Amino acid sequence: MSLLSVENLELRHGLLEAVRGVSLTLEQGQTVALVGANGAGKTTLLRALAGAHRPSGGTITFDGVDITRRRAHECVRMGISLVPEGRRLFGNLTVEENLLVAAQRKRPGHWNVETLLEAFPLLQRLRHQRAATLSGGEQQAAAIGRALISNPRLLLLDEVSLGLAPLAVDAVYSSLATVIAAGATILLVEQDLTRAVSVAQRVVCMLEGRFVLEGRAAELSREQITDAYFGLQRPAGVGA
């Protein structure tokens, strides 16, 4: 049984149909990259999986349980954590305090303050520094750490490299590789195709609310992905 199963999911913003009948499965320990241009529906899909956006149709099943109508706090309790675009840390709290706030909903598991600081070495010297004073890359690492400290079974990452300098992206992805090696299950939204393919076993491309390409990362060429990304082709038979 798949850890996550999405069937014919429909998501709306008022009259706007943002996600149109998508289906997806995610296995335990797998990393899937969800790519696509701005407005493709990626963030809306992640928010729905985290319980922050109510579907208008379809189903979301997590570890055999229908969570389509579950609220965000219930999804967190079940083991789903979202790192939203823009990080959204508590700016007046230190890095360690941000982690400890999230740890109040902690599930049993590998991640705690010390193991997170080991996985994200750029945060070690910053643990007592206010989040508002951090650079973009440091804030992104802290936001991922904050999500991980609850020991989620599924980690949803929205736009990991957005707005970051190349060196900051290198540092964040280096730490993310450690998280993946530890057995995390991740659905990663990323516009940097090279980064996405480098860490994912599978790649799914969205265009105008639909999945237009899906396959194993090792079997998809960059040309196939970029063509789907920009809507230059719409292969038949895509799906989970």
Average pLDDT for 93-109: 87
Q: Write out the DSSP string of 11-54.
A: EEETTEEEEEEEEEEE-TT-EEEEE--TTSSHHHHHHHHTTSS-
Q: What is the pTM of this model?
A: 0.90
Residue 239, pLDDT above cutoff 90: no
pLDDT-derived band at 240 (thresholds 50, 70, 90) equals very low
pLDDT-derived band at 106 (thresholds 50, 70, 90) equals confident
pLDDT of residue 107: 84
Element of type H or E holding 83: strand 80-83
Which residues partner with 7 through β-bridges?
59
| Per-position b or e across 144-169, b if 16+ CB within 10 A of its CB | bbbbbbbbbbbbbbbbbbbebeeebb
Please give the single-letter amino acid code of residue 208. E
C-alpha 88/C-alpha 123 separation (Å) is 17
What CATH class is the domain 4-229? alpha beta
C-alpha 185/C-alpha 130 separation (Å) is 29
Count how many Cα atoms sit within 13 Å of the Cα of residue 103 in the half-sphere of its side chain.
Answer: 16
Which tens digit of pLDDT belongs to each residue from 14-68?
989 999 999 999 999 999 999 999 899 999 999 999 999 999 999 999 999 999 9
C-alpha 142/C-alpha 89 separation (Å) is 8
pLDDT-derived band at 233 (thresholds 50, 70, 90) equals low
